[in-house]
Amino acid sequence: MQRLSTVHPRLFSLAAAFLTSDLPSPRSFLVSSASQERTRLTFSLSVPAAKSLWVCKKIWKSAVRGELDMGGEGKPTVVIMFPGLQYLIDHDAIESRFTILKLWEADDRMAFFKENADKIKGLVGNASIGASAEVIDALPNLEIVSMHSVGIDKVDLVKCGERGIVVTNTPDVLTDETADFALALVLATMRRVCAADRYVREGLWPLKGDYPLSHKVSGKRFGIVGLGRIGSAIAKRAEGFGCSISYYARSKKSEYAYHFYDSVLELAKNSDILVLSCALTKETTHIVNRDVLNALGPDGTLVNIARGPVVDEPELVKALVEGRLGAAGLDVFEHEPQVPKELLSMDNVVLQPHAASATWETRRVMADLVIRNLEAHFSGKPLLTPVT
């Protein structure tokens, strides 16, 4: 035993908080040792005139090592909404600093939220599932939504604003990866890389001879819908192929010399390749419609690494089936993970499972940013990448 005035200040604050509470004495803490064993340590607090507090040395050491658990009440509870991101779930910092709940382990999601409603203060979402109005209403103590994505279309920003819930995302860290992937889709689609690969694997080369000719990429008219971080990175890469760059955005970007069109339709009319890299909003939903697809034409290629609903998917399928559109490279779909069955057998279509940023390197950096935003919020520090 030793006097609290000589031990770690953090523990002094904890003990002082307990002293002024209405909890009975003796007090007790749960301490997790390095071997993951838990021991309940009990000590008594007396209140002499000088309010000296005594605690045992073992508790102090545990607090200094960051192992003081206090029955789980000392760490903010955060719900992760989606499975599959093991590098986030297994991150060294996340279990030690937060109490983690995993939504996908629940049989009944709304029952899960009801059971944990008072506990959950943080939520981690991604491009597939975030914080809808229904989820936000079910969590009265929610303080922060930390998105593991750039896009925030899965977050009800109006509801968050009404409740004072802060929202963060992961911009910049996936720009290069997504831009690289967009060019990979352009190349794979126009050069029929995936279909030619199947041709070889199925033993058709010796039987049927050379694979049919494909189309070159270099020197094409390259249109981009959305010239933000990712769109501009795509444009820079396309320049390396000798392509002429044009774009559509909400306004002309004076910092770029690329040709600006004030409508997607006009851009499509003047493009051989149309790459979508815009955010999903009410204004951009189905911005690529039948007219745009017809304007791109039977020699045109559409590549979507934005969001599925940016394209009118039924019209896209019809255009491909009827030959009114030449080819498509699709990383995103309107009703993920469902993909229109008509697309599955088309050699002029390359399909990907929303994987543009799906590399170990990028997802680790994204996970770090998610956790750092959570840490900043719960420690009262400025957020690193605030949306609201």
Angle, in degrees to the nearest 10, between helices 175-190 and 229-239: 50
Q: What angle do CA 179, 180, 185 make, to 5 degrees?
A: 95
Task: Locate 41 and state its tokens.
Answer: 């340590």
C-alpha–C-alpha distance, residues 4 and 277, integer Å = 58
Give yes or no: 266 in active site.
no
DSSP per residue over 216-279, as a string? --TT-EEEEE--SHHHHHHHHHHHTTTPEEEEE-SS--TT--SEEESSHHHHHHT-SEEEE-PP
CB contact at 8 A, 185 and 329 = yes
CB contact at 8 A, 217 and 193 = no
Strand partners, 100: 78
Which residue among 97, 192, 354, 363 is the active-site one?
354
CB contact at 8 A, 349 and 325 = no
CB contact at 8 A, 212 and 191 = no
Which residue among 336, 364, 372, 375 is the active-site one?
336
C-alpha–C-alpha distance, residues 352 and 355, integer Å = 6
Closest CA to 334 of 382, 289, 291, 274: 289
Which residue among 97, 192, 307, 363 is the active-site one?
307
Task: Locate 115 and state its tokens.
Answer: 């059971």
Give yes or no: 8 in active site.
no
Enumerate residues 6+ apart whose C-beta is below 8 A from 294. 319, 324
Give yes or no: 336 in active site.
yes
Q: Sign of torsion, CA 384 174 166 102? A: negative
Active-site amino acid positions: 307, 336, 354
